[in-house]
């Protein structure tokens, strides 16, 4: 027992696992970053060293996501949640109307925040079936004069993911990709704004990344607080004030790591393989059930139940004792959730399935 515990398979929905290579390299450079005599935690955000970190991070993100030149990349504090407010404050620029699709708790929160600032219409919702599917919407469902349409591309809590990109007929599409960014290739040009809190697939918590089409920047009204204006971040290269330097540094290391392992297409292949293995096991187990409609299932957040809340609790506790952490579902819905983000190795999925089999045997 005195031995230091091994690193666990952490199935947390966020903050979540980072690539071990990145953590170990950061540890080796923690006190003295690449021999510059300072740690990234201590260095000036205006220094040449940090400037290089920031520029490389942006460049590598642009490379792996294939971001077109007419999009700005911004690192902004306040996580995904602050984006819920920045979006209406910047994008309600003509009619003051925006259309939201409600596919879960995060989508609801985003819409609720926007309602403080404009005329928000819920054009579709999957609340009628506990958000177990993604609503299907057509171009005609949106108000033609809406300033933007908002979707939550991957629903972290309910384990769903859009199987399609809604056709908005030219209305800028805004997507919360907090829990799926970098897990799959994306045609960025289909979106006006993509944003993501970083603590699921990219870095330690505390910032969001916003990827925004240039012609949508610069419409914040005069009374919008300076920090909440995207133009401030775009014009100042994400250093209007002191950014979260360490999170940006780790994000950059993760982008490099993805590039070196063959890019997002390669990662996506692995993610499909991991998720398929787990869903196939669940569907054929006889004990576990996934409540999500098959074509809308998330590759990142795999939600399942036994149908017996006490047994679910026992499962989560025993898994923890077996070095598999945070398998509990979100506190709002219970059950189980295995978040298998980019950094979860196949061995983690295999270990989980082996444990699930054993648990099923023991609890017949």
By CB under 6 A, name the binding residues for ligand PLP. 14, 79-81, 106, 152, 156, 176, 178-179, 197, 205
Does residue 200 have an active-site annotation? yes
Does residue 69 have an active-site annotation? no
Residue 298: CB minimum distance to ligand PLP, A = 10
Residue 175: CB minimum distance to ligand PLP, A = 10
Closer residue to ligand PLP in complex, CB, 199/306: 199
CA atoms within 13 A on the CB side of 358: 10
Q: In whole angstroms, what is the distance from residue 287 CA to residue 52 CA? A: 52
Using CB atoms, what's the residue nearest to ligand PLP? 79
Q: In whole angstroms, what is the distance from residue 56 CA to residue 97 CA? A: 37
For 349, the 3-state DSSP assignment is helix
Residue 112: CB minimum distance to ligand PLP, A = 13
Residue 83: CB minimum distance to ligand PLP, A = 8
Nearest by Cα to 234 from 51, 118, 1, 70:
70
Kind plus residue range of the DSSP H or E element containing 148: strand 148-152
Give how far Cα 44 sits from Cα of 60, 206, 243, 342, Å: 22, 19, 10, 31
Closer residue to ligand PLP in complex, CB, 96/334: 334
Alpha-carbon Rg for the chain, nearest whole angstrom, is 21
- Residues 316 and 327: beta-carbon distance below 8 Å: yes
Q: Which of 72, 97, 106, 256 is catalytic?
A: 106
Residue 106: CB minimum distance to ligand PLP, A = 4
Closer residue to ligand PLP in complex, CB, 162/355: 162
Closer residue to ligand PLP in complex, CB, 300/356: 300
Closer residue to ligand PLP in complex, CB, 108/293: 108
Q: Which of 99, 147, 176, 229 is catalytic?
A: 176
Q: In whole angstroms, what is the distance from residue 142 CA to residue 148 CA? A: 9
Residues 6+ apart with CB under 8 A from 133: 126, 160, 292, 293, 296
Work out the angle between the directed axes of helices 346-362 and 263-285 (0-180°, nearest 10). 10
Q: Encoding tokens for residue 275?
A: 């998720």
Residue found under tokens 């017949």? 364
Does residue 116 have an active-site annotation? no
Q: Which of 200, 231, 256, 274 is catalytic?
A: 200
Closer residue to ligand PLP in complex, CB, 39/125: 125
DSSP lists the bridge partners of residue 211 as: 73, 194
Residue 95: CB minimum distance to ligand PLP, A = 25
Q: In whole angstroms, what is the distance from residue 193 CA to residue 71 CA? A: 9
Residues annotated catalytic, as ranges? 106, 176, 200
């Amino acid at each position: 027992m005195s031995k230091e515990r091994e690193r666990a398979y952490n199935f947390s929905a966020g903050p979540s696992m980072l690539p071990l290579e990145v953590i170990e390299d950061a540890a080796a450079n923690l006190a003295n970053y690449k021999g510059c005599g300072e740690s990234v935690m201590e260095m000036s955000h205006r220094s040449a060293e940090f400037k290089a970190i920031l520029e490389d991070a942006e460049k590598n993100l642009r490379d792996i996501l294939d971001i077109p030149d007419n999009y700005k990349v911004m690192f902004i504090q306040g996580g995904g949640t602050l984006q819920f407010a920045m979006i209406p404050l910047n994008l309600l620029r003509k009619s003051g109307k925006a259309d939201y699709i409600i596919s879960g708790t995060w989508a609801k929160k985003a819409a609720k925040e926007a309602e403080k600032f404009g005329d928000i219409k819920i054009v579709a919702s999957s609340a009628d079936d506990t958000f177990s599917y993604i609503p299907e919407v057509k171009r005609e469902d949106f108000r033609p004069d809406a300033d933007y349409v908002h979707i939550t591309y991957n629903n972290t809590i309910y384990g769903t993911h859009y199987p399609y990109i809604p056709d908005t007929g030219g209305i800028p599409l805004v997507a919360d990709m907090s829990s799926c960014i970098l897990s799959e290739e994306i045609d960025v040009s289909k979106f006006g704004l993509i944003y993501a809190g970083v603590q699921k697939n990219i870095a330690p918590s505390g910032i969001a990344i916003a990827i925004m089409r240039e012609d949508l920047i610069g419409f914040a009204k005069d009374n919008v607080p300076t920090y909440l204006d995207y133009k401030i971040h775009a014009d100042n290269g994400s250093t209007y004030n002191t950014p979260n330097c360490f999170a940006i540094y780790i994000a950059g290391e993760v982008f490099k790591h993805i590039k070196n392992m063959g890019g997002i297409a390669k990662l996506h292949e692995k993610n499909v393989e991991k998720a398929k293995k787990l869903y196939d096991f669940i569907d054929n187990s006889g004990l576990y059930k996934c409540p999500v409609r098959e074509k809308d299932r998330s590759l990142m957040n795999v939600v399942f139940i036994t149908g017996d809340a006490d047994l679910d609790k026992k499962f989560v506790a025993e898994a923890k004792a077996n070095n598999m952490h945070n398998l509990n579902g979100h506190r709002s819905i219970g059950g189980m959730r295995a978040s298998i983000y980019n950094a979860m190795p196949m061995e983690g999925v295999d270990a989980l399935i082996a444990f699930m089999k054993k648990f099923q045997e023991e609890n017949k």
